[in-house]
Amino acid sequence: MSNVQISRFQLVIVLVWSILATGIVTVPFIVAQFTVRDSWITGLLFVAGGLLSAGTAAVFIRALPNRNLTNGLIDTFGPWLGRMFCLWFLVWLYLINCTILREVESFVSITILPRTPEYIIGLLGMAGISYMVYMGVEVVMRDCEFIIPLALVVTPVLFALSMKHMDVHELMPVLADGWQPVLRGAVTPDLTYALELLISLQFVRALRESRTLPKDMVTATAILTVLLTVIQIITTGVVGQSESYLSYPVLETVRSIRIGRFLERLDTLYVIGVMSTICIKLGVFHYAWCEGMKDVFKLSSHRIMALSGGLFVWAGSFAFFRSTKEMEHFIAGVAPAYFVVTLICIPLLAAMVMKFRRQAKR
């Protein structure tokens, strides 16, 4: 990975696609369990989680420059204790990969392949992603750039056509139930999806300019905040209070688009976009896991774990989540605290210990 140079543009794009991939599928449903009319406010609050992630990355990079997260933990805590922290991070990363793959299996099974067993969908999908990871991080970054033209053309069209069916009164009155439902609904987006931006710490050694990582994370946060807010506004305006009963509110919003008998079923474009971004997200997170395994166990290359690790993730997606309800409970109930400990507490603790060690040497 040291020979690969990831540009700032590529980093911002890969962060946007990675968060938006599952965020656009899961966030509207989870937020709607607490508030529907004011769900768009939770989109604005996403900036808080993004800034928290950027601040954590800035502290870590300042204390441990030119080191990715697993290398930094080993250098800070030593070969034994450092590897224990790394194993905690790798177990977290493995569970997240299983969760993402389970979301893919459920989404594809419900939307386009209802007669295909979910384990077949997961196996085929993970095989392609494992091969992409095997080829290297540059392939993942090029895939991110490849779908940009499609997104720039399709996304504004879907937004514009959906707004034809939008009822602004579904968003009124604002804060009728106070701030508590809004803040409870913002927990998962802010403490789960926003903290996923910190996966970029595992790519520090491949960045062309690692010092600008916090700034790039802020840029990605701004883009994501705007997109999530617009998505929440349009979704609530189109489907209304039924949003809390729909598993995929955004999909139903796109399905509402009809222009006579000439143009309909644009949800196909939405499904293509979701599948493309989820594949990128799985590629990014699986690559980060393989790199971590290489650092912890001193492997010669991440490729050793790419294919076998993909099979391991496929098996775990069913072993940990036997139903969609179990997956949703993990995302909404367990993941926020798990993410805070793994992505905020551990990197900050490493930065603090390294600072004390340097002061002690003086």
pLDDT(128) > 90: yes
Per-residue model confidence (pLDDT) at position 158: 84
User: For residue 361, is it within any domain?
Assistant: no
Asked if 22 and 274 count as a contact pair (C-beta separation under 8 A), the reply is: no
Predicted confidence (pLDDT) per residue in 319-351, tens digit: 999 888 889 889 988 999 999 999 999 999 999
Average pLDDT over residues 344-361: 91
Q: Read off the CATH number of the domain in which 29 is found.
A: 1.20.1740.10
User: For residue 35, is it within any domain?
Assistant: yes
Average pLDDT over residues 33-38: 90
Average pLDDT over residues 254-269: 75
pLDDT confidence bin for 261, thresholds 50/70/90: low
Predicted confidence (pLDDT) per residue in 92-127, tens digit: 999 999 999 999 999 999 888 889 999 999 999 999
193: nearest Cα among 7, 28, 6: 28
What total number of domains does the chain contain? 1
Average pLDDT over residues 256-271: 75
Per-residue model confidence (pLDDT) at position 75: 93
| Mean per-residue pLDDT of the chain | 90
pLDDT(78) > 60: yes
Give the CA diameter of the chain. Answer: 76
User: For residue 187, is it within any domain?
Assistant: yes
User: For residue 1, is it within any domain?
Assistant: no
- What pTM value is reported for the model? 0.93
- In the chain, the percentage of residues whose pLDDT exceeds 70 is 97
Average pLDDT over residues 31-35: 91
pLDDT confidence bin for 193, thresholds 50/70/90: very high
Per-residue model confidence (pLDDT) at position 231: 93
User: For residue 360, is it within any domain?
Assistant: no
pLDDT(81) > 90: yes
User: For residue 362, is it within any domain?
Assistant: no
pLDDT(55) > 70: yes
Domain that holds residue 343: 8-355
Asked if 147 and 17 count as a contact pair (C-beta separation under 8 A), the reply is: yes
pLDDT confidence bin for 291, thresholds 50/70/90: very high
More confident position, 177 or 203 = 203
Report the 3 state secondary structure along the chain. CCCCCECHHHHHHHHHHHHHHHHHHHHHHHHHCCCCCCHHHHHHHHHHHHHHHHHHHHHHHHHCCCCCHHHHHHHHHCCCHHHHHHHHHHHHHHHHHHHHHHHHHHHHHHHCCCCCCHHHHHHHHHHHHHHHHHHCHHHHHHHHHHCHHHHHHHHHHHHHHHHHHCCHHHHCCCCCCCCHHHHHHCHHHHHHHHHHHHHHHHHHHHECCHHHHHHHHHHHHHHHHHHHHHHHHHHHHHHHHHHHHCCCHHHHHHHCCCECCCECCCHHHHHHHHHHHHHHHHHHHHHHHHHHHHHHHCCCCCHHHHHHHHHHHHHHHHHHCCCHHHHHHHHHHHHHHHHHHHHHHHHHHHHHHHHHHHHHHC
Per-residue model confidence (pLDDT) at position 351: 94
User: For residue 321, is it within any domain?
Assistant: yes
Per-residue model confidence (pLDDT) at position 262: 63
Spell out the residues 6+ positions from residue 360 whose beta carbon is closer than 8 angstroms to its own: none
Asked if 50 and 209 count as a contact pair (C-beta separation under 8 A), the reply is: no
Predicted confidence (pLDDT) per residue in 82-94, tens digit: 999 999 999 999 9
Average pLDDT over residues 284-298: 95
Per-residue model confidence (pLDDT) at position 330: 92
pLDDT confidence bin for 209, thresholds 50/70/90: confident
User: For residue 286, is it within any domain?
Assistant: yes
Per-residue model confidence (pLDDT) at position 3: 64
Per-residue model confidence (pLDDT) at position 154: 84
Per-residue model confidence (pLDDT) at position 288: 96
Per-residue model confidence (pLDDT) at position 335: 93
Per-residue model confidence (pLDDT) at position 216: 96
Per-residue model confidence (pLDDT) at position 359: 84
Average pLDDT over residues 304-312: 94
Q: How far is CA 27 from the centre of its chain?
A: 11
Per-residue model confidence (pLDDT) at position 1: 47
Per-residue model confidence (pLDDT) at position 2: 47
Asked if 239 and 253 count as a contact pair (C-beta separation under 8 A), the reply is: yes
